[in-house]
Chains A and B, each alone.
Chain A
């Protein structure tokens, strides 16, 4: 019984906490439970959500991707400079570039047998440098005649903003892939025990390469949306996002050592962080620095609880 409660808390702990935080918000702030505010939370977190989804794939294999923030900036800059030629050109080009950089991460990690931490740290530094060098540290202004490009970040389908639609579709696909395709199960298998997976005849290198490519692609997509929302491609965009994404994944309940977790857990993790941030803003009194302190404490708390629950089983 105790183990079952433990298991429930581990799998749904973030969800329980999300509901709790929402309840507090509802009780305390009138402005919280309004459609505008809720859509706002979702839209603000849609880009981090995409990055965190990619990070989920990577962490499920037992890896880590520190380069996502920098890849997001590279994609944003590319998309902004191609924005004049329309979304049809800018989006695929930017996402493809980020995917290729992610692919390089995966290739070096799997074929070179080098730790993901170091490889993606190197990519983070180099890609950020590339974005800064190419733009001369200047933001790339998106010029006129790019209405289709602006639609991506600022338009809406019905009353739902486009970024939210993209976020939800991406998570639905991510859930389907992880739970119902061979590739998804292979991702989990590699993180569970990669030696065993290899002995069972799995091409573990291929899995590794693909998850870093996916992570790069989703970071790229987030970068394009951000550029579209801001109207500029900023070479300094996404600084520190890799850490927020990791935090969201871990808070959602995915084990940092890999093998256990899900896309939905990450969505809950992202929303939990987003709602807490939203409540801080509604409160209006807490300085951003104290907000950071609180977020750090929350992350620590969740990880400690997770660790205890894992041992309990």
Chain B
């Protein structure tokens, strides 16, 4: 009897310059199975996929395809063996025909020349088998995004894929187009293809996947059949919480200290819309209030911040500060109006590693420190002195390079960069990620202090403790919508997770509404 699955990965280990990215991870896939891989940022999903498709070399563990051990050194080798990653539709050739996109590099030939007739015929056949009505001769660039995504999949299928990896295949599709994708997946299942499906959207997972494997911090957590698995339990697995613990822990007292009751909200964002990323999101935050924002990766939490800050252009919606509507075409406008945004990716969007603490801190304030085109060094030094002592930045001097500082101190310098511009409203996206415990509580205390001084704060975090302890009010994001708002006694880790897990016809929204 053959009980060997289509694909089996055992005890996979991957280390990047001393940091363990994958540790003892298991994954197996049956024929005709759609198996989802989930986990928060840094869980190791993409690393596992890259090990599977030969883009990375594993440092330990074993991999079996149809029972025989495999060791792919390149993506091409994996492709030949039948393990194919489907890239997003942007990775196609816009000027070429559909058929050429599917057969690039392995076009059928006769007498050394491309056999166009056969290529179009073969392409048409693959497309028809997937239930797609797309002309193989059409130029790719003239097709809509959904068709392009299907062609990316059809290419994988035409390569003879036994294992097909779909990484966020719906990220650029409309809801209507997603249905088309489900149909293609169903056909592939029938043909016995195993599919690894990565998506942040729970509705999708429950709609198309048979099983789910949860990773957290590079570790294997569990593999479960999706049928019968409650969303709450799935989220608890992803976040590493025990459901019983959540229910035991009530709200922490911290929250109601600085509950704002000022009549007029400081910041109002109304009906923000941006494709599927933001679907009519409205938030308000008062002076001296810390508005917490919870949500899983991909729920739209960062998108809200970016929309409010003018970093992404939105389809609809308006943002006002102190009752005055802002005309946000770029972050520049937002900064002038008194908004500040500390983004989640400190390395990519924040620090200039080779610059000193002084230069990094005063970067945004330079125009104000400049007299007759010359930057005033003494004004810079004043700022550096003030904030180094106020925020407790541990650096040998303002001239130390910022790269030599710890993550917590780098974050404080970035915070100071914004604070020296005296913002009225501060947006923090994951302000304590990757920071050691001591610095973390210092930053949290500082945020509290700022709020007490009357600043409005929007704090996005994936750490439930941080949100529960530090916020006066919490909004929960799910699938681009604001699905719950928690205040006062409602604030608890349990209620946040419940809101994250709610089914489409949101039970929690009405729950929390009735609880008020």
Contact = CB atoms under 8 A, between A and B. Distances in A.
Interface of A: 176, 180-182, 185-186, 188-189, 192-193, 195-197, 199-202, 259-260
B87 A199 contact: yes
Interface string B79-119: 10000000100111111100010001101010011101000
A182 B114 contact: yes
A196 B113 contact: no
B93 A259 contact: yes
Given A188-B95, A200-B155, 11 more contacts: A182-B109, A185-B104, A185-B114, A188-B93, A189-B93, A196-B93, A197-B104, A200-B104, A201-B75, A202-B104, A202-B105
B267 to A, nearest CB: 39
Interface of B: 75-76, 79, 87, 90-96, 100, 104-105, 107, 109, 112-114, 116, 155
A197 B95 CA distance: 12
A189 to B, nearest CB: 5
25 contacts: A180-B114, A181-B112, A182-B109, A185-B96, A185-B107, A186-B104, A188-B96, A189-B93, A189-B96, A189-B104, A192-B93, A192-B95, A192-B96, A193-B91, A193-B94, A196-B87, A196-B90, A196-B91, A196-B93, A197-B93, A197-B104, A200-B91, A201-B76, A201-B105, A259-B95
B100 A185 contact: yes
A260 B100 CA distance: 14
Contacts of B104: 185-186, 189, 197, 200, 202
A196 B75 contact: no
Given A185-B100, A189-B93, A193-B91, A200 B114 contact: no
Q: Is the interface of A mostly helix, strand, loop or mixed?
A: helix
Contact of A181 (B76, B90, B94, B113): B113
Nearest to B79: A201
A182 B115 CA distance: 10
Nearest to A176: B113
Contact of A193 (B75, B92, B105, B114): B92
Nearest to A177: B113
Nearest to A200: B104
A59 to B, nearest CB: 14
A201 B116 CA distance: 20
Contacts of A192: 93-96
A195 B91 CA distance: 7
A186 B105 contact: yes
Contacts of A195: 91
B101 to A, nearest CB: 8
B209 to A, nearest CB: 25
Contacts of A260: 95
A186 B113 CA distance: 13
Contacts of A186: 104-105
Contact of B92 (A181, A196, A201): A196
A196 B92 CA distance: 5
A202 B87 CA distance: 15
Contacts of B155: 200
A192 B76 CA distance: 21
Contacts of A193: 91-94
Contacts of B92: 193, 196
Nearest to A191: B95
Nearest to B92: A196
A181 B96 contact: no
B384 to A, nearest CB: 39
Nearest to B115: A180
B50 to A, nearest CB: 13
A188 B94 CA distance: 11
Contacts of A199: 75, 87, 91
A193 B100 CA distance: 13
Nearest to B75: A201
A181 B113 CA distance: 5
B83 to A, nearest CB: 13
Contacts of A181: 112-114
Contacts of A202: 104-105
A199 B93 CA distance: 11
A167 B191 CA distance: 53
B112 to A, nearest CB: 7
Pick from B90, B104, B113 the residue with the most CB of A within 10 Å: B104
Contacts of B76: 201
A265 to B, nearest CB: 14
A189 B104 CA distance: 8
A186 B107 CA distance: 11
Nearest to A195: B91
A258 to B, nearest CB: 9
A182 B94 CA distance: 18
A201 B78 CA distance: 11
Nearest to B90: A196
Q: Residue among B75, B79, B95, B107 with the most chain A CB within 10 A?
A: B95
B152 to A, nearest CB: 10
A257 to B, nearest CB: 10
A176 B114 CA distance: 10
A174 to B, nearest CB: 14
B94 to A, nearest CB: 6
A185 B113 CA distance: 11
Contacts of B87: 196, 199
B4 to A, nearest CB: 28
B378 to A, nearest CB: 43
A303 B163 CA distance: 46
B55 to A, nearest CB: 10
Contacts of B116: 180
A189 B91 CA distance: 11
A180 B155 CA distance: 21
A199 B155 CA distance: 12
A192 B113 CA distance: 21
Max chain B Cβ within 10 angstroms of own Cβ: one of A181, A189, A197, A200: A200
Nearest to B87: A199
B94 A200 contact: no
B95 A182 contact: no
A91 to B, nearest CB: 26
A181 B114 CA distance: 5
A176 B113 CA distance: 9
B131 to A, nearest CB: 24
Contacts of B114: 180-182, 185
